[in-house]
Amino acid sequence: MNNNVDKDYVCGDFGEVTEWLQIKVTVKTECLDELTSLMSMINSNLLIDDLSDIDLKTCYGDLIDEKILNADKSHASVSYFVPKDANIADDMAFLRDRLASANLSDANIEVIGLCEEDWANSWKEFYKPFKIGRIVIVPAWEKYEAQGDEIIVTMDPGMAFGTGTHETTRLIIGLLQKYVGEGMSLLDVGTGSGILAICGAKLGARPCRAYDLDPMSVRVATENVRDSGLEDVITCGKSDLLKQAENIVGGYDIVCANIVADIIIRMTPDVAPFMHEKTVLLASGIISERCDDVVSCFEHHGFKIVERVEDNGWCALAVMLG
């Protein structure tokens, strides 16, 4: 435990800001997928810190930060954030119990006090423009000139999940480029930073609806949509999976869900009314070991798997009604 948890956190000249606790669990890198799946049972907006798969020859070149070069790549961590006054006793009990059951009792659990301004700025040095197919994800504080037919998506994920750098997001952005056509309607469930809805809109999707259970994610997504000039195309709102999500007549042409395996399985029985016979559902955030479980669930509820893609232990699916 961090002994500064009870300290008041006020940042520089900003006055009082939102105060947060970071719940961070660190394990050996080979246990990261198991830890991610476990922690997704508590919170779907996770920060994953894993430097083990950085390819120094091709990935960052001269731009790579010395802190990354010298970092311990034998361990990785998963974090989520809660307001400082939240009761985390149940979370701690759940974590310790599940970590022990998963033979991860040597995991290091930390509770770290920080304020929003600290979090919002401390990681930015590691986030640089990068390309996924035609789409180039550019941090809001970076400058980048489009080359050829590149599509620029400017992002400031703030406290929400979704910079685009994680395998799960890269996989589904790749699938969006394959399946989205001009004028297609799009539903993004668990939008995080809004990155998938924005990518879909940039590819021509109209209209787009983006939902998340976390109010902060809705706020961040709304800000990113506004900063992208897409307020007339994308609507953001709060919804627990599909319970309060707005449907459109005849269903959506594209449905996105970059969440985790267990939550995709939970939403599967409820998603058909949001689809029609040609709708493509893109599901990501699935560790490869759980992909067959998700496939079985889809098939059990009358869906067919159109495409399955994988990257570094993660899986994404393109699914249609059977």
Assess if residue 170 is contained within a domain. yes
- φ, ψ of residue 47 to 5 degrees: the values are -105, 120
Say yes or no: 142 and 259 in one domain.
yes
Whether 4 is in a domain gets the answer: no
Pull the structure tokens for residue 92. 């701690």
The reply to whether 19 and 93 lie within a common domain is yes
Q: Read off the pLDDT of each residue in 26-43 and give the average, rounded to a whole number.
A: 89
pLDDT at 3: 32
Q: Is the pLDDT of residue 1 over 60?
A: no
Strand partners, 113: 21
Residue 6 has pLDDT above 60, yes or no: no
> Average pLDDT in the 200-218 region?
92
Residue 192 pLDDT > 50: yes
**In the 8-state DSSP scheme, what is residue 214?**
S
Q: Quick: pLDDT tens for 252-292.
A: 999 999 988 888 999 999 999 999 999 999 999 898 989 99
What are the structure tokens assigned to 86, written together? 């939240």
State how many domains the chain has: 2
**Residue burial 243-264, b: 16+ Cβ < 10 Å; e: rest:** eebeeeeebbbbbbbbbbbbbb
Q: Are residues 149 and 96 in the same domain?
A: no
Per-residue pLDDT tens digits for 111-168: 888 665 555 565 566 567 888 999 998 888 888 888 899 999 988 755 445 556 678 8
**Residue closest to 317 by CA, chosen among 161, 183, 179:** 179
The answer to whether residue 213 scores a pLDDT higher than 70 is yes
Q: How far apart are CA 13 and CA 5, in angstroms?
A: 22
| Partners of 273 in the β-ladder | none
Residue 65 has pLDDT above 80, yes or no: no
236 with 250, same domain: the answer is: yes
Percentage of the chain beyond pLDDT 70 is 81
Distance between CA atoms of 25 and 71, rounded to whole angstroms? Answer: 17
136 and 97 part of one domain: no
Tens of pLDDT, residues 81-118 = 888 777 787 778 778 878 887 888 789 988 888 665 55
Count CB-CB contacts under 10 A for residue 53.
13
Count Cβ atoms within 10 A of the Cβ of residue 62 and give its class: 0-12 exposed, 13-18 middle, 19 or more buried.
exposed
Could you tell me if residue 7 is inside a domain? no
CA 3 to CA 241: how far, in whole Å? 36
* pLDDT > 90 fraction of the chain, expressed in percent and rounded: 45
Note whether 221 and 211 are within 8 A (CB).
Answer: no
pLDDT at 54 exceeding the cut of 60: no
* In a domain? residue 3: no
Shared-domain flag, residues 265 and 222: yes
Verify that 160 and 285 share a domain, yes or no. Answer: yes
Instruction: From 104, 122, 140, give the residue that closes a domain.
Output: 122
Q: For position 80, which CATH number holds?
A: 3.30.70.120
Angle at which helices 195-202 and 215-227 cross, to 10°: 30
What integer pLDDT is reported at residue 26 of this predicted model? 95
d(CA 258, CA 314): 11
pLDDT of residue 140: 81
Give the containing element (helix H, strand E) for 212. Answer: strand 208-212
Question: Which of 88, 122, 156 is at the close of a domain?
Answer: 122
Same domain? For 152 and 258 the reply is yes
Report yes or no on 216 lying in a domain. yes
Q: Are 195 and 157 in contact (CB under 8 A)?
A: yes
Let me know whether 69 and 187 are in one domain.
no
Boundary (domain end) residue, out of 70, 103, 122: 122
Say yes or no: 169 and 270 in one domain: yes
Which of the four pLDDT bands, split at 50, 70 and 90, describes residue 42?
confident
Tell me whether residue 18 is in a domain.
Answer: yes
> Which residue would you say has higher pLDDT here, 45 or 225?
225
Average of per-residue pLDDT values in the chain = 82
**Across the strands, what pairs with 187?**
209, 255
Name the maximum alpha-carbon separation found in the chain.
Answer: 58
Is 1 a domain residue?
no
CATH number at residue 217: 3.40.50.150
What does the pLDDT average to over 45-67?
60
Which residues form the domain of 289?
A: 127-321
Q: Are the C-beta atoms of 218 and 236 separated by less than 8 Å? A: yes
Cα angle 148, 235, 258; round to 5? 70
**Do 287 and 244 belong together in one domain?**
yes
Q: Is 2 a residue whose pLDDT tops 80?
A: no
Residue 178 lies in a domain: yes
Same domain, 154 and 303: yes
